[in-house]
Amino acid sequence: MAARQRQFMADASHELRTPLFAVQAAADVTLQRGHREEGEYRDALGLVADQARRLTRIVEEMFTLARADAGHLPLRRAPLYLDEVLADVGRAARVLAEPRRVTVELPAGPESPLVGDEDLLRRMVLNLVDNAIKHSPPGGVVRVGLDRAGDAYRVTVSDQGPGIPAEARERVFERFFRLDAARARDDAGSGGSGAGLGLAIARWVAEAHGGRLELVRSDAAGTLFAATLPAGPRA
Ligand SMILES: Nc1ncnc2c1ncn2[C@@H]1O[C@H](COP(=O)(O)OP(=O)(O)OP(=O)(O)O)[C@@H](O)[C@H]1O
Ligand SMILES: [Mg+2]
C-alpha cells in the first residue's frame, strides 16, 4: 500500500473511532440501569442521532475522495448557471447561519453560464461557506461573491473570523487537517464539525473543473478563499 494510502486509512479509522465510541458509551450508560426517565432516553438518543449524522458525513466525504483518487468519480458535466448554484448554497447556508446569528450576504452575481458538475460545485461552495459560518463570531458577516475576470469565474467566500495562522495556510487543504481539532471534537454534538476533509474536497472539485482554489488572505480581520473556474467560451 502506498504511504499516502496508509496514512489515509490511519487517519480515517481515527476519525471514525471518536463518534463510534460516543454512540457506544451513550447506549451502554443508558441501558446499564433498569429504569430511566423518558427524558434520559431522549437525551441519549439525541446524542446517538447527532453522532450518526457526523459519521454519515465523514463516510460520505471519505467516499468522495476515495472515488476521486481511483478515478471513478466521473464529472457529470452539464450546462448550468453558477449564479444559481450560489443562490442555492446561500439558502442552505442561512439555515446554518441563523442559530449563530451570522449573516450570509450574497449579492446578485451576473448571469454565469458554465459547463460543469452542479452537485460537486455546490458542495465546493457549501464547504467554503460552512467553514466561514463555523468560524464567524456572533453577529459576523459571511460574504459570497461571484465575478468574471477574462476567461474565468471567481467565486469568493469571506468571513470575519479569527483567521488561520501563517504556518497552517497550505495545510488546511490537506486531508484530515484541522486547526481546531480539540474544539471540533468537543463540538461534535452539534453535528456540524467534520473530519477535516471539506477543503481537500473543495480543492479537488475546483481542479477537476480545470480551476483552482486558494486561500487569498487570512488575518485577524477574517479569511478569504477564492475558487477560479474557467468559464469556457461565452454563450
Ligand atoms: N474560514 C475559516 N476560518 C478559520 N479557519 C478555517 C476556515 N476554514 C477552514 N479553517 C481551518 O481549516 C481546517 C480544515 O478545514 P476543512 O473544511 O477541510 O475541515 P473541517 O471544516 O474541520 O471539517 P469538514 O469540512 O470535513 O466538515 C478547519 O478545521 C479549520 O481549522
Ligand atoms: Mg469544512
- Give the distance (Å) from ligand 2 centre to CA of residue 75: 22
Angle at 100 between CA 95 and CA 105, to 5 degrees: 60
Mean pLDDT in the chain?
Answer: 90
Distance CA(125)–CA(132), nearest Å, equals 11
Average pLDDT over residues 81-100: 95
Q: Is 94's pLDDT higher than 60?
A: yes
Task: Tell me which ligand sits closest to the C-alpha of residue 203.
Answer: 1
The pLDDT-based confidence of 181 (bands split at 50, 70, 90) is low
Scan for cell 468560524, then name that residue.
135
Distance separating alpha carbons of residues 2 and 163, to the nearest angstrom: 34
**Per-residue pLDDT for 87 more than 90?**
yes
pLDDT at 209: 96
The Å distance, Cα 184 to ligand 1 centre, comes to: 9
- Banded pLDDT at 76 (limits 50, 70, 90): very high
Residue 3 pLDDT class (50, 70, 90 cuts)? confident
In this structure, the residue with its CA closest to atom 17 of ligand 1 is 198
Q: How many residues does the chain have?
A: 235
pLDDT score of 189: 40
Please tell me the distance between residue 80's alpha carbon and the centre of ligand 1 in angstroms: 28
Residue identified by cell 475546483 is: 206
Return the H-helix or E-strand segment holding 180. none
C-alpha cell at 62: 471519505
Given a contact cutoff of 8 angstroms between Cβ atoms, the answer to whether 132 and 99 are in contact is no
* Ligand with the closest atom to the CA of 199: 1
